Amino acid sequence: MGVVVQNVPRVDKAIVDGLAEAGVATVHEAQGRRGCLAAYMRPIYAGVRVAGCAVTISVPPGDNWMLHVAIEQIKPGDILVVVPTSPCDDGYFGDLLATSAQARGCRGLVIDAGVRDVADLTEMGFPVWSKCVSAQGTVKETLGSVNVPVLCARAIVEAGDVIVADDDGVVVVRREEAEATLSAARRRIAAEEEKRRRLATGELGLDMYEMRARLAEKGLTYV
Amino acid sequence: MGVVVQNVPRVDKAIVDGLAEAGVATVHEAQGRRGCLAAYMRPIYAGVRVAGCAVTISVPPGDNWMLHVAIEQIKPGDILVVVPTSPCDDGYFGDLLATSAQARGCRGLVIDAGVRDVADLTEMGFPVWSKCVSAQGTVKETLGSVNVPVLCARAIVEAGDVIVADDDGVVVVRREEAEATLSAARRRIAAEEEKRRRLATGELGLDMYEMRARLAEKGLTYV
Amino acid sequence: MGVVVQNVPRVDKAIVDGLAEAGVATVHEAQGRRGCLAAYMRPIYAGVRVAGCAVTISVPPGDNWMLHVAIEQIKPGDILVVVPTSPCDDGYFGDLLATSAQARGCRGLVIDAGVRDVADLTEMGFPVWSKCVSAQGTVKETLGSVNVPVLCARAIVEAGDVIVADDDGVVVVRREEAEATLSAARRRIAAEEEKRRRLATGELGLDMYEMRARLAEKGLTYV
Amino acid sequence: MGVVVQNVPRVDKAIVDGLAEAGVATVHEAQGRRGCLAAYMRPIYAGVRVAGCAVTISVPPGDNWMLHVAIEQIKPGDILVVVPTSPCDDGYFGDLLATSAQARGCRGLVIDAGVRDVADLTEMGFPVWSKCVSAQGTVKETLGSVNVPVLCARAIVEAGDVIVADDDGVVVVRREEAEATLSAARRRIAAEEEKRRRLATGELGLDMYEMRARLAEKGLTYV
Amino acid sequence: MGVVVQNVPRVDKAIVDGLAEAGVATVHEAQGRRGCLAAYMRPIYAGVRVAGCAVTISVPPGDNWMLHVAIEQIKPGDILVVVPTSPCDDGYFGDLLATSAQARGCRGLVIDAGVRDVADLTEMGFPVWSKCVSAQGTVKETLGSVNVPVLCARAIVEAGDVIVADDDGVVVVRREEAEATLSAARRRIAAEEEKRRRLATGELGLDMYEMRARLAEKGLTYV
Amino acid sequence: MGVVVQNVPRVDKAIVDGLAEAGVATVHEAQGRRGCLAAYMRPIYAGVRVAGCAVTISVPPGDNWMLHVAIEQIKPGDILVVVPTSPCDDGYFGDLLATSAQARGCRGLVIDAGVRDVADLTEMGFPVWSKCVSAQGTVKETLGSVNVPVLCARAIVEAGDVIVADDDGVVVVRREEAEATLSAARRRIAAEEEKRRRLATGELGLDMYEMRARLAEKGLTYV
């Protein structure tokens, strides 16, 4: 309660950008089907694919004071990750905070609560993944913490972890696993390219993956 | 049950249009963080900002008969506000009702239930904020009331109140507070313009709002 | 458990395409307000109106193995209908499965669970109506069944039934009622055209539908 | 924000106690099917039927400071009605507050949020109707208001209104309608007694209420 | 819409009572893990285990007229199964209807909506499994149907099917499968008795079910 | 995926039992308002207060195979903590598993999913806190892990952490903080005893906690 952790190590920019290119579904598979945030986290506008290092913010319900504190901690390429200490739908973040965050190099916001001024944020090109959109404002009365581990939409996020977000949702990659995950993602993409080509010709997954024997053994019956 | 209140006073058109221009988040703040409808009320298409005087309609679950009654009460610049007496997701409103409402000068619909024909409504430019989209139709058997106070998505709306709606959701302004709220909203917009300019240069909210002393007094620790 | 029903009869293509043209809300009304799937089934992108014959798939929670089995059963013009045996939000279906389904003439997917790779699916023009979007992957361990009756989002769907889907949601038409429903839908469209023209001139539904007498008899009061 | 209204008029004790005896379902019917709070408001233990005059409390999310202020406003026979300004599940109220409220004559709590220490409250015989049970604590940082109108679980409650609560949920009766509602409730109870006797002998509601003709006229078919 | 199917065949009383004795979880397993209603269907009081033949009732949202029609169709040993045509939480059923149903030999109610007078129903010993408890009353304006197939809480129920209900929820058994399901349930109970005895001595399921080899083959690692 | 961590250190029995005695709300406050599981985790029967060391189990949706593996890892005084890898309501646990767990000294179950045979579990005195009750059975096909960190109902639980559960819900205490938390809880209980005594005499929290000055400074107005 009331701690700001400074100087969190970040992941190398080339790795972060590689993970963005791979996208959420591929990165999630590449790290063994782990790290997805809950499906209720949706983008405020479609068509963005982004990655960045997490600046985590633990906030009280209905109180966005710590967002101002967190903005000072942003380094270019970061993504803000905001979580209330108990579930809350209020609109913690709008165009003024986005202007400030963007001025410091922030690439987007992931918030397990509400966001507002979404028409302005869309026009500014500041992407947000949130639980909801809500114009309901917040107060500035109670402390929270910055760059402590948070539980965001059923996933643990630590400061400096890589956040990848696109139209499929959000996935988190542990800082120390980022490089290995990128390698695994790239192998996966190469393998999928070949599969996609074969499936497009009408070849069946049943044959390509050699599933027929195992299905028969489990007892699948055709009538 | 079964009452139509006629000749409800409306707010001056210039004030209504001023509130539309200010938008939901600003109006909500300008009246002391009151009046937001619940965050589940979402527009059927993005990019609209509108305001109008409320024609309120209390309907039974699964019965849209009173919408036909209400349309006769519309004056140009009004917005329909529809609330079932118990929670219901049915599609009460579609393109025929919208054609009729639009012909009488209606600016949109706010409904704490479902709407349908959303592709047609989008093409017609008839904006709707609703709890859900549903093709499930309704009957015409039971009376309701028009222009009585209603509880719409956790907010009280009285006939003649100003409804402001945009991508952030919906806010209601009491008829007798509309003028003062517009003044407060305009002061707020002017102040925000200056703040936005400064934040865009990278100046921190921490300094601009002089928050550092109060944060320290509360015990915020940097590590 | 583990059955694939083959050679399911389909509805004539002209009838299916006629139902697509009529759209969800009209088809639902034309068959006596039956057949709507729950309102939480939403399209991953707007602006599509499609119909096809159902290939139904009952899958275990978190296991998409049977989707590979089902793709072999697709005939051109079909729509996949996927339902987990207990509620599940995982992303069962992505761009590889869509490539394979599309190669066999599949027109879309209706899934009472999650879908992923939605940016790719949108670009491919492969429409999906789902409960949610989720990058969370699935396993291939447990059998399910293909072309058995399923309960999808509060509606019964049998293999070969016609699925109609658009921005208003999804409706199912029994195979044996498809022709009669199309006729009823066409009569309804013709009648609505005339009503729309009259309502657009400002004529009231109260008068056009001759509602005033029955409202008075029920006790509606104007004050 | 930050107002305590004192000296709110209460309803006569005999009327309040009469409404308690009638119970929630009967009182709700007696006032024309109005006033029920949403069905998610449940008692922490079964078997209580109580009524009292409302002391309303508008609290910020996650902040129970105003409950201490409200307790001073309790008069014997009152019921506390607590509503957060945005949805919140935290446990605002526990055994210490209940001890204090009970010492001042409070008959129970209705809270559109969480409650805790429910084993102690049950042992003390202090009834609570709440949205949930949660041990999650709250802070004391931000003001709210006491005895202002609140929206509690989809119903408007004003200070001094009568709250009736039992195993069926909670209903609110406007202060100025309390006496008339009690009379209507008593008439209803007398009428039901006779009906219950006849139904218990096997007489059908179809005959007792003379429904057969109207059902036939609407088109009901027996096959 | 508006049909009452009479003279529905029932299952033999001895089979129904045998299924009651087996209980919901066992019956569900005995018929291949099918037939459970959704987990939100909960008993209004604990400790009951009952079975009966379904009298199904399709009702409009907020309208309980057809319950009066259905009561005439009850035969001793039946259970009422009520489903609104679109989701609704209203309290459709209370102590007067229960008195009437009980007088005709009804064993309980399963309702995918709300129930009220639960204290009275508990005292009468009339068990109910419902989606919620709600005092919110209903009207009598629109027809529905009796003894047509209904979709109740994600399960299909046909008139005459056996409903088994206890503290674990509700399961439906097709009329034509009732006898075979009872046999399977009895075999299961006998087998479980022996397993329970061995597990109570501390023997592990891992050994009793010989799971170790298959776990190792799948790759389970102990560290 | 597929790992069983053995020989996890536990907390001293005296400390665990002390935490049980303190109860959930007090322990939660004593560790700085941290560690509560989400409010939807409810006991299957009331009146139990228990604590134990966590044996954590990560299971696939709809698959309870790993519960058999986990039971071998139980030491007397443990509590099972079960979490599906994606949200699932199925009934993973019933009376046979409970018999086996109880035979090995298990004190209860915390499961972020469904449980069944609740009447039997209640009779056995085996307490469970779960998301729901569901008779829906599960398969035994896919591996999970035992004694890995899990995210249970919005809280992180590591193997060996202390779980405290009662009618208020569930709280987790880090293994290394258990002793200090117990001391803080005991100090809190002593202080509350004195407060309860004073509040019961009618003394106000406003005075006892000396809140009046700070409320006035914030601007609280009495009217």
Contact at CB, D32 and B151, closer than 8 angstroms: no
When the pLDDT of each residue in chain A is averaged and rounded to a whole number, the result is 96
- 10 Å CB burial of residue B194 (0-12, 13-18, 19+) is exposed
Q: Is pLDDT above 90 for B41?
A: yes
Closest residue in C to B45 (Cα) is: C46
What is residue E1's predicted lDDT score, i.e. its pLDDT? 67
Contacts of residue D120, defined as CB under 8 A and 6 or more positions apart, other chains included, come to D94, D95, D98
For the stretch C158-187, pLDDT in tens is 999 999 999 999 999 999 999 999 999 999
Indicate which of C66, C85, C88, C89 best probes the interface with F, i.e. most F CBs within 10 Å of its own CB. Answer: C88
Provide the phi-psi class of F125: left if phi over 0, else alpha when psi is between -120 and 50, else beta. Answer: left
pLDDT in tens, C8-18: 999 999 999 99
Residue E118 above 70 pLDDT? yes
Q: Which residues of A touch C94 (CB under 8 A)?
A: 25
The answer to whether B49 touches A117, Cβ cutoff 8 Å, is no
Touch of E by A (3+ CB pairs closer than 8 Å): no
**Smallest Cβ distance to E62: which of B62, B89, B136?**
B62
F111 has pLDDT over 80? yes
Cβ E16 vs Cβ E161: under 8 Å: no
Shortest CA distance to B144 belongs to which of B86, B222, B95? B86
State how far the Cα of D69 lies from the Cα of D83, in Å rounded to an integer: 15
Half-sphere exposure of E14 (CA within 13 A, CB side): 2
Tens digit of each residue's pLDDT (9 = 90 or more) over C65-124: 999 999 999 999 999 999 999 999 999 999 999 999 999 999 999 999 999 999 999 999
Residue of B nearest to D38 (CA): B86
Distance of CA C129 to the CA centre of its chain: 8
- CA separation for the pair A211, A216 (Å, rounded): 9
Partnered with residue D59 across adjacent β-strands are: D84
> What local confidence, expressed as pLDDT, does residue A97 receive?
96
| Chains contacting D (3+ CB pairs below 8 angstroms) | A, B, E, F
Structure tokens at F90: 């199925």
Q: Note the pLDDT of residue A1.
A: 66
Nearest to A142 by CA among F191, D65, F38: D65
Q: If you average pLDDT over every residue of chain B, what do you get? A: 96
Q: Could you tell me which chain C residue has the CA closest to the CA of E154?
A: C154
Estimate the crossing angle of helix B178-200 against helix B13-22, to 10 degrees.
30
- Structural contact between residues A73 and A147, judged by C-beta atoms closer than 8 angstroms: yes
Contact E71 D205 (CB under 8 A): yes
Mark yes or no for CB contact A33/F85 under 8 Å.
Answer: yes
**Would you call C200 and B99 a contact, using CB atoms and an 8 Å cutoff?**
yes
pLDDT of E111 above 80: yes
CA distance E144 to B81: 29
- Rounded distance, CA E130 to CA E172, Å? 15
Contact across the interface for A137 and B29, Cβ inside 8 Å = yes
DSSP letter, residue F109: E
Dihedral sign computed on CA atoms, order E7, E9, E14, E16: negative
Helix (H, G, I), strand (E, B) or coil at D191: helix
pLDDT tens, residue by residue, B142-163: 999 999 999 999 999 999 999 9
Residue of E nearest to B1 (CA): E139
Residue of C nearest to A217 (CA): C143
Integer CA distances (angstroms), A219 to A223, B139, C3, C144, F23, in order: 13, 49, 9, 10, 51
Report yes or no: D127 and D44 within 8 Å, Cβ to Cβ: yes
pLDDT at B1 over 80: no
Question: What does the alpha-carbon distance between residue D164 and residue D183 come to, in Å, rounded to a whole number?
Answer: 15
Cβ neighbours of residue E111 under 8 Å, at least 6 residues apart? Answer: E80, E81, E82, E83, E92, E93, E128, E129, E130, E131
Residues 6+ apart with CB under 8 A from D191: none
Q: What is the pLDDT of residue C7?
A: 92
Residue C143 near chain A (CB below 8 Å): yes
CB F221 within 8 A of CB D4: yes
H/E segment holding residue D165: strand D162-166
What pLDDT is recorded for position F1? 67
Subunit contact E33:C85, Cβ cutoff 8 A: yes
pLDDT in tens, F22-64: 999 999 999 999 999 999 999 999 999 999 999 999 999 999 9
Residue B134 has pLDDT above 90, yes or no: yes
Nearest-angstrom CA–CA distance, B195 and B197:
5
Q: Could you give the CA distance from residue C86 to residue C62 in angstroms, rounded to a whole number?
A: 10
Residue pairs spanning A and F at CB distance below 8 A: 15
A60-89 mean pLDDT? 96
Q: Label each residue of F76-106 as H, E or C.
A: CCEEEEEEECCCCCCECCCHHHHHHHHHCCC
Task: Report the C-alpha gap between D152 and F88 in whole angstroms.
Answer: 31
Q: What subunits touch chain E, counting only 3 or more CB pairs under 8 A?
A: B, C, D, F
Is the pLDDT score of F183 beyond 80?
yes
Q: With beta carbons less than 8 A apart as the criterion, state whether E5 and E158 touch.
A: no
What's the average model confidence in pLDDT over F130-152?
Answer: 96
Q: What local confidence, expressed as pLDDT, does residue D66 receive?
A: 96
Contacts of B62 in chain E (CB under 8 A): 60-63, 85-86, 88
Residues of A in contact with B19 (CB under 8 A): none
What pLDDT, on a 0 to 100 scale, did the predictor assign at position D1?
64
CA distance C165 to C128: 9
Give the whole-angstrom CA distance, residue B167 versus residue B216: 37
Residues F75-87 have a mean pLDDT of 97
D154 → closest Cβ in B1, B32, B151 = B151
Residues within 8 A of E (CB atoms), D 50-109 only: none
Mean pLDDT of F81-102: 97
List chains adjacent to chain A, taking adjacency as at least 3 C-beta pairs closer than 8 Å.
Answer: B, C, D, F
Quick: pLDDT tens for C136-158. Answer: 999 999 999 999 999 999 999 99
* Cα F151 from Cα F171, distance rounded (Å): 13
If you count residue pairs, one on C and one on E, with CB atoms under 8 Å apart, how many are there? 14
Q: Which of B59, B86, B139, B158 to mutate to test the interface with D (most CBs of D within 10 A)?
A: B86
Interface test with B, best of D154, D158, D171 (most B CBs within 10 A): D154
C-alpha dihedral, C99 to C104 to C105 to C111, nearest 10°: -60
Comparing C-alpha atoms, which of C216, C33, C45, C20 is closest to residue C130? C45
F interface mutation test: which of C83, C139, C140, C143 has the most F CBs within 10 A?
C139
Whether A155 has its CB under 8 Å from any CB of chain F: the answer is: yes
Touch between C and F (at least 3 CB pairs under 8 Å) = yes
- Half-sphere exposure at residue B59, Cβ-oriented, CA atoms within 13 angstroms: 35
- Each of the 223 residues of chain D gets a pLDDT tens digit; together they read 689 999 999 999 999 999 999 999 999 999 999 999 999 999 999 999 999 999 999 999 999 999 999 999 999 999 999 999 999 999 999 999 999 999 999 999 999 999 999 999 999 999 999 999 999 999 999 999 999 999 999 999 999 999 999 999 999 999 999 999 999 999 999 999 999 999 999 999 999 999 999 999 999 999 9
Q: Would the pTM of this model clear 0.80, i.e. be above it?
A: yes
Subunits with 3+ C-beta pairs closer than 8 A to C: A, B, E, F
Query: ipTM for the complex?
Result: 0.93
Answer whether F204 touches D (CB < 8 Å).
yes
pLDDT tier for residue C1 given thresholds of 50, 70 and 90:
low
Q: How far is C17 from chain B (nearest CA, A)?
A: 18
Pairing of strands D128-133, D108-115: parallel
Whether B143 contacts chain C with CB within 8 A: yes
pLDDT digits (tens, 9 = 90+) for A110-151: 999 999 999 999 999 999 999 999 999 999 999 999 999 999
Give the pLDDT band of residue B128 (cuts 50, 70, 90): very high
% of chain E beyond a pLDDT of 90: 100
Cβ–Cβ < 8 Å for C95, A196:
yes
